[in-house]
Structures are given as C-alpha cells and as structure tokens.
Amino acid sequence: MMVEMSDPDAQAHFVRDIVTTNEKVQWYWTAQRPTLRILAVETEGLKLVVDFSIWDVGFKQTGPLELSFFVNERLLDKVRYESPGAKHFEKPVPADWLKTDVESTVAISIDKLYTAPQDGAKFGVILTKAGFERR
C-alpha cells in the first residue's frame, strides 16, 4: 500500500504530474498536482503517509508552500510549510473513503511552483514515498 519512489514498479502507480525518468532513482520531482494510484488491501485503521522534500533553492524563489493532501478527491488536510528540507506528512484516513476492490488516488496539490530561470521548467516538491500504512 506504499509506493517508494525507489521501487522498480513505482512508475506504474503514477497518474499525473510526476516527472519520470528511465534511470533508477530514489525520488522524483513533481509538478502542480502529483497523483498516484494505490490499492488499499483494507479500509480500517489506515493513515496516509507522504515523505517529500522542499528544495532549498526553489524555496528561495517560492517562499512558504501550502500543500493540500487528497484521497479519492477528498481533502484530507492542508499544511503550510515554512522552511525547506525533508518533510513527513501523516494523517488517518476515514475508512469510508477507501475501497479494497479498486485503486484509490492519492494527490498532493502544491500552491506555488519553482520556475527554473534557464528554461522555464516548473517543479513542485521532491517525492520519496506516498501511500497507506496501518495506524
């Protein structure tokens, strides 16, 4: 129920806004609303867990970021991050938001993107893992 970005099959879970590569990596850049598909094997007693980093160079341009965390298009929480660096998010997911017979979507909406000055490419956060864990 957890997608580690270093997993060989991680890209099979990507729906949108995650910058892919053909190389084996430990993390991926995101765009505005990175979204993954994850099958929950149970619905009771789960929490959403996301590990990511806010790039210090990007933070100098964007300032504090507000991230909204969604499960199946429902807003689970909105958090403002006041500093760059490694971040950990976790929050219980209501059991009635999940099903075991279809994949759930996990999305993160990022309020401001870093724009690279050299080519105008836009980046959100550095994603290392996302999914469900037992509480």
Provide the domain limits for residue 107. Answer: 2-134
Residue 89 has pLDDT above 90, yes or no: yes
Instruction: Report which secondary-structure segment, H or E, holds 68.
Output: strand 65-71
Q: What is the CATH number of the domain that holds 15?
A: 2.60.120.260
| Interatomic CA distance for residues 52 and 10, integer angstroms | 15
Q: Please state whether beta strands 14-18 and 65-71 pair in parallel, antiparallel, or not at all (unpaired).
A: unpaired
Q: Which runs of consecutive H residues, i.e. helices, occur in the chain?
A: 56-62
For residue 117, the model assigns a pLDDT of 95
Query: Could you read off the pLDDT of 17-33 as tens digits, one per residue?
Result: 999 988 889 999 999 99
* pTM of the shown model: 0.96
The whole-number pLDDT of residue 42 equals 97
What rounded mean pLDDT belongs to the chain? Answer: 97
Q: What is the pLDDT of residue 72?
A: 98
Q: What percent of the chain has pLDDT over 90?
A: 96
Report the number of distinct structural domains present in the chain. 1
